[in-house]
């Protein structure tokens, strides 16, 4: 568990009593107790209050906040406050603020405006983290450290430019190696001195965000900025560890957020935490995938749900209310996929600035007689009832789906073949196909060991890093099933094309090669025509976006294109390789195709769904020791009937014994401890 001082699923969230008077805080605590809230994240944005000037620190208000909360057994997630520097720092030390993508020097304002390579920012952020750790490390109420907040954003200042050159020297060693990796012979971009290199932004190599003249330069700058922010995290981490030896340290991540390589970040964190803000119309399988991705950052270790809204966001285009029961349902969805906490932003609504209409446990009316508070209280009561039953339980998945931030960056930056190819969407399509068959899947990095899975899927594996192809070959030869898709195996880690025919280093294991790639207009489509029925696959399916024109080099051709000049060329192949097989999907098949493909492969592998699928009902399972906990979540607006088959047990939320066919209410949840 995260901290044995609080041996249950933690319940609480971001709390900012510095915005209120003492009487309001007393009333808040009274209501927190009603709702069984037992943890508060404090000090997230208090740097200016703690350090009003360069040489002055004042912890008196934070002392009183922590003491008052812990007096009523509300534990502390203590943030370091370094997500936004004080105004005096920006005024006195201009190196602190960032230069934006357009090349403009920022003034004080907003948040995430600190340059990660500013010596001033690093000096004072580390000093603050150190002082906080020295002061509060032995406090009885402290259960977890929270560094900064939602790291993100890039800087293009002179300090970053110089640091980028140093990062490049370490990566490439020589300017000749850099020129080769960056392919600078194109357009006469050859560099003869490190000082000639500038950051790629709107005044150098890039335009419109992800459009760039030189993909590898832009790719490396994303790697560098992610690493630079991670250095800031590590510096504060080390400062805390000098005084606080045992309390775990985290920072809140943001799911599929594009700018940081979270698999690198996960290695540096004791426990992963993240902020979950789906829209009303976000597919619930996408939220499940995001939870699984956060779980995957540390090899399946349970994570913290650090933030969600109890009712509505304030920053989306349409900030819909969560309908009755949805907050509870989505909270348990997080737990079902590995969360050991349920936490909100925010516990009391702000009354000013840009988040005053962001939902909260305590609304602007200021009392407990609201729908939101009633639902929060009901969930709080259930979490007390669950106690430590689910803590540190894990998932045992037979399917791993590869996700790679650097591959995503490379795809986003590439000049072609189509603007409609979106990496996250493609990964989600495969996750969703398994999800709808009640086959739980882990989201894994390219570094993860494959041998614990029966099936590994790597959608649009455009970039093949060193050792990846060999790992795939060993996995398949040992009996595994590997699935990849169109536009895979195209480039190496430097975004340089692997010559000799696509899919490059994956060609051997897949038993095919591709000579051309056709990009279809949004109005166009083609067909996947099965040669004959193969498992569940049968007949004709629609396809779009991209069509690889492939040839078999030993792979069995299961389907071909139905139209255009490449009619009759393979669209789906299966290659026997050692004891296993490798599948290649040469185009973007429709949902029916993916469903039938997944069902065919899991049938061949003998992988059974947890229970028979029911539309709109999510099923997953956590395991601890000999105990298995089956989560059944009904996302439908009406009651659902679910056949548990041979599963029997007790529903931990109602204490009822369940077996056979069960009725799950609309937006309802069952957590079945299996016999």
> 3-class secondary structure for 227-289?
HHHHHHHHHHHHHHHCCCCCCCEECEECCCCCCCCHHHHHHHCCCCEEECCCCCCCCHHHHHH
CA nearest to 442, candidates 396, 390, 488? 396
Which residue, chain included where needed, has tokens 């939220």? 287
Positions marked catalytic:
150, 307
- CB of 330 closer than 8 Å to CB of 322: yes
Checking phi first, is residue 288 left (phi over 0); if not, alpha (psi -120 to 50) or beta? alpha
Enter the DSSP assignment of 340: S
Which residue, chain included where needed, has tokens 């290659």? 575
Residues 426 and 442: their CA atoms lie apart, in Å, by 16
- CB of 141 closer than 8 Å to CB of 118: no
CA nearest to 577, candidates 452, 484, 448? 484
CA 112 to chain CA mean position, Å: 19
CA nearest to 486, candidates 440, 550, 530, 429? 550
Strand partners, 402: 444
Give the HSE-up count for residue 131: Cα atoms under 13 Å, Cβ half-sphere.
Answer: 18
Q: Which two tokens stand for residue 641?
A: 């009937």
CA 100 to chain CA mean position, Å: 25
Residues 92 and 87: their CA atoms lie apart, in Å, by 9
- CB of 428 closer than 8 Å to CB of 292: no
CA 82 to chain CA mean position, Å: 22
The radius of gyration of the chain's CA atoms, rounded to the nearest angstrom, is 26
Enter the DSSP assignment of 520: P
In three-state secondary structure terms, 650 is strand
Give the HSE-up count for residue 220: Cα atoms under 13 Å, Cβ half-sphere.
Answer: 27
Sequence-distant (≥ 6) Cβ neighbours of residue 191 within 8 angstroms: 175, 178, 179, 184, 197
- CB of 327 closer than 8 Å to CB of 376: yes
CA nearest to 650, candidates 624, 632, 620, 672? 672
Which residue, chain included where needed, has tokens 């991670």? 230
Enter the DSSP assignment of 651: E
Residues 502 and 229: their CA atoms lie apart, in Å, by 35
Sequence-distant (≥ 6) Cβ neighbours of residue 110 within 8 angstroms: none
Strand partners, 207: 211
CA nearest to 361, candidates 6, 13, 5, 10? 13
CA nearest to 97, candidates 81, 82, 116? 116
Residues 432 and 613: their CA atoms lie apart, in Å, by 13
């Amino acid at each position: 568990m995260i901290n044995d001082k609080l041996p249950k699923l933690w319940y609480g969230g971001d709390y900012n009593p510095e915005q209120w008077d003492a009487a309001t805080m007393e009333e808040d605590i009274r209501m927190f107790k009603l709702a069984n809230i037992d943890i508060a994240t404090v000090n997230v944005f208090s740097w200016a209050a703690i350090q009003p000037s360069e040489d002055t620190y004042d912890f008196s208000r934070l002392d009183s906040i922590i003491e008052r909360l812990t007096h009523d057994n509300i534990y502390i997630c203590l943030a370091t406050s370094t997500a936004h520097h004080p105004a005096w720092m920006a005024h006195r030390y201009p190196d602190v603020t960032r230069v934006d993508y357009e090349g403009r020097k920022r003034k004080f304002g907003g948040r995430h405006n600190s340059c990660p390579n500013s010596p001033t920012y690093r000096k004072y952020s580390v000093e603050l983290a150190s002082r906080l750790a020295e002061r509060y490390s032995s406090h009885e109420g402290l259960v977890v450290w929270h560094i900064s907040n939602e790291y993100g954003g890039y800087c293009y200042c002179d300090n970053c430019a110089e640091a980028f050159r140093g990062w490049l020297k370490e990566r490439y060693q020589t300017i000749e190696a850099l020129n080769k990796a960056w392919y600078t012979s194109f357009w006469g971009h050859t560099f003869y001195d490190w000082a000639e290199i500038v950051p790629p932004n709107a005044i150098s190599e890039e335009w419109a965000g992800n459009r760039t003249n030189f993909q590898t330069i832009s790719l490396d700058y994303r790697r560098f900025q992610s690493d630079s922010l991670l250095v800031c995290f590590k510096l504060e981490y080390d400062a805390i560890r000098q005084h606080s030896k045992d309390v775990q340290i985290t920072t809140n991540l943001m799911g599929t957020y594009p700018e940081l390589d979270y698999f690198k970040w996960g290695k540096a964190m004791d426990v992963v935490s993240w902020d979950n803000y789906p829209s009303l119309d976000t597919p619930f399988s996408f939220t499940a995938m995001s939870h699984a991705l956060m779980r995957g950052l540390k090899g399946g270790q349970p994570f913290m749900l650090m933030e969600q809204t109890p009712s509505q966001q304030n920053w989306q285009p349409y900030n819909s209310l969560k309908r009755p029961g949805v907050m509870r349902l989505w909270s348990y969805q997080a737990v079902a996929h590995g969360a050991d906490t349920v936490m909100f932003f925010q516990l009391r609504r702000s009354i000013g600035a840009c988040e005053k209409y962001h939902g909260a446990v305590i609304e602007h009316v200021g009392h407990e007689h609201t729908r939101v508070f009633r639902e929060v209280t009901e969930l709080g009561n259930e979490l007390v009832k669950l106690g430590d039953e689910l803590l540190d339980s894990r998932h045992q998945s037979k399917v791993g789906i590869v996700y790679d931030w650097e591959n995503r960056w490379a795809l986003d930056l590439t000049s072609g073949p189509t603007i409609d190819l979106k990496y996250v969407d493609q990964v989600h399509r495969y996750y969703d196909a398994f999800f709808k068959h009640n086959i739980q899947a882990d989201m894994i990095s390219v570094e993860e060991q494959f041998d614990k899975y029966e099936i590994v899927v790597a959608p649009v594996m455009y970039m093949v890093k060193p050792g990846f192809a060999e790992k795939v070959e060993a996995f398949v030869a040992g009996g595994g099933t590997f699935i990849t898709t169109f536009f895979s195996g195209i480039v190496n880690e430097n975004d340089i094309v692997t010559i000799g025919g696509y899919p490059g280093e994956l060609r051997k294991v897949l038993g095919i090669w591709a000579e051309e790639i056709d990009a279809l207009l949004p109005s166009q489509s083609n067909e996947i025509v099965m040669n004959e029925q193969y498992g569940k696959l049968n007949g004709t399916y629609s396809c779009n976006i991209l069509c690889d024109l492939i040839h078999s080099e030993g792979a069995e051709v299961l389907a071909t294109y139905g139209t255009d000049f490449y009619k009759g060329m393979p669209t789906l192949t299966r290659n026997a390789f050692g004891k296993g097989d490798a599948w290649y999907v040469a185009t973007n098949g429709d949902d029916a195709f993916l469903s039938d493909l997944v069902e065919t492969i899991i049938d061949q592998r003998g992988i059974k769904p947890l229970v028979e699928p029911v539309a709109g009902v999510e099923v997953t399972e956590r395991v601890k020791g000999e105990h298995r906990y089956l989560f059944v979540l009904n996302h439908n607006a009406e009651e659902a009937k679910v056949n548990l088959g041979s599963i029997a047990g007790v529903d931990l939320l109602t204490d009822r014994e369940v077996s056979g066919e069960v009725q799950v209410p609309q937006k309802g949840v069952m957590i079945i401890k299996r016999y």
